[in-house]
């Protein structure tokens, strides 16, 4: 059993040492809680749980603390994929729910598994998800002052459970100030993908990740026989060719972990029950 989570990127120029320390402590705590949960739950259930904890933490751009779009409204996206069944479900541009990832998880049993906008919110309302504002004063101030820092902050989790099953989950509050209706990578196979060989969650500029098909490429290459490191190297070299901005976390079916970013520093933490690794 292993788990790895990410919380977007950290910029030394835009954020303080206190914020960096807070994120390190937060990621470590969430990774530990998620690993304990993984002991008695499947990888699919555990990644949803981990991402819900990240969504609840105002340090990250997902759930509570999400960025505000160009028209002053918060719209969030999230997706989850079960590596065993290779079924993915998600919500795109959903408003006023506390945990988009849990709505995405609820959709896994539906025939129509990816919903957007009003349809996603209607489904959430009908399935017991309470109306909830995820806005915080800091984001409103940033919006009003037209600040552009901190916009690359998607969160995600990848896990392998005791039965060797893999899953990935990803959630985002967007990049901030975007054109309403913009669709990120998070609820696509470019940003969140898994099968029985590998699971990947991405963060960064959604347009770059979609153009590069980052998560799908990594998983496909591992499936075809490349090691995780080889798959990442090839995929990130292709990302570099388009000057793409992305980071990714992954686990393969042997329990190997890997992470890489094109523009340091992606914030992440992983835990195997004994050892932590946290971004520096």
pLDDT tens per residue, range 42-101 = 999 999 999 999 999 999 999 999 999 989 999 999 999 999 999 999 999 999 999 999
* pLDDT recorded at residue 146: 54
- For residues 12 and 271, is the Cβ–Cβ distance under 8 A? no
Tell me: is residue 172 an annotated ligand-binding position: no
Total domains in the fold of the chain:
1
Task: Tell me which residue of 40, 44, 273, 32 sits closest to 160, measured CA to CA.
Answer: 44
Catalytic residue status for 188: no
139 is known to lie in a ligand binding site: no
Q: Is 155 annotated as a binding residue?
A: no
243 labeled binding residue: no
Q: Is 280 part of a structural domain of the chain?
A: no
pLDDT band at 273 (very low <50, low <70, confident <90, very high): very high
**92 domain-assigned:** yes
pLDDT at 246 over 90: yes
- Say which of 154, 188, 214, 235 is annotated catalytic: 154
* Residue pair 75/94 in contact by the 8 Å Cβ criterion: yes
Model pLDDT for residues 99-147, shown as the tens digit of each residue:
999 999 999 999 999 999 999 999 999 999 999 999 998 888 876 665 4
Tell me whether residue 277 is in a domain: no
Any known ligand binding at 74?
Answer: no
Beta strands in the chain (DSSP E): 2-9, 76-82, 87-94, 114-116, 155-160, 166-172, 192-194, 198-204, 246-252, 257-261, 266-271, 276-278
CATH number at residue 17: 3.60.20.30
Residue at 278 is within a domain: no
In a domain, 46, yes or no: yes
Q: Is residue 184 part of a domain?
A: yes
DSSP string for residues in 112-173: S-EEEHHHHHHHHHHTTPPP-----HHHHHHHHHT--TT----EEEEEE-TTS-EEEEEEE-
State residue 276's pLDDT score: 95
Q: Which DSSP state fits 243?
A: T
pLDDT of 208 higher than 60: yes
- Give the tens place of pLDDT for each residue, 153-171: 699 999 999 999 999 999 9
Q: Is 183 annotated as a binding residue?
A: yes
Task: Report yes or no on 279 lying in a domain.
Answer: no
Q: Give, in order, the Cα–Cα distances in Å from 1 to each of 83, 200, 238, 245, 257.
A: 15, 16, 31, 30, 11
Which residue in this structure is represented by tokens 């129509």? Answer: 112
Cα distance between residue 28 and residue 183, in whole Å: 30
Q: Which domain holds residue 17?
A: 2-272
Within-domain flag for 24: yes
């Amino acid at each position: 059993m292993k788990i790895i989570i990410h919380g977007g990127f950290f910029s030394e120029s835009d954020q303080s040492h206190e914020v960096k320390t807070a994120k390190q402590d937060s990621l470590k705590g969430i990774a530990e809680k998620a690993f304990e949960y993984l002991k008695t739950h499947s990888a699919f259930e555990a990644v949803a749980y981990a991402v819900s904890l990240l969504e609840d933490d105002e340090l990250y751009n997902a759930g509570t603390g999400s960025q505000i779009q160009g028209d002053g409204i918060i719209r969030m996206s999230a997706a989850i994929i079960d590596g065993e069944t290779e079924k993915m479900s998600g919500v795109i541009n959903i408003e006023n729910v506390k945990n988009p990832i849990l709505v995405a998880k609820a959709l896994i049993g539906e025939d129509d598994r990816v919903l957007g906008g009003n349809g996603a919110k209607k489904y959430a309302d009908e399935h017991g998800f309470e109306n909830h504002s995820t806005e915080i004063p800091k984001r409103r101030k940033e919006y009003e002052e037209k600040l552009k820092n901190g916009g690359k902050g998607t969160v995600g989790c990848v896990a392998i459970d005791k039965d060797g099953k893999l899953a990935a989950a990803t959630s985002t509050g967007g990049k901030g100030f975007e054109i309403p209706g913009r669709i990120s990578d998070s609820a696509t196979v470019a940003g969140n993908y898994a099968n029985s060989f590998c699971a990947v969650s991405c963060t960064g500029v959604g347009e770059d990740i979609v153009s590069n098909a980052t998560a799908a490429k990594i998983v496909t290459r591992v499936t075809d026989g490349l090691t995780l490191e080889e798959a990442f190297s090839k995929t990130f070299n292709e990302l570099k060719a388009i000057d793409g901005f992305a980071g990714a976390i992954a686990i393969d079916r042997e329990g190997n972990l890997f992470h890489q970013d094109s523009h340091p520093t992606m914030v992440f933490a992983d835990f195997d029950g004994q050892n932590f690794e946290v971004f520096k």
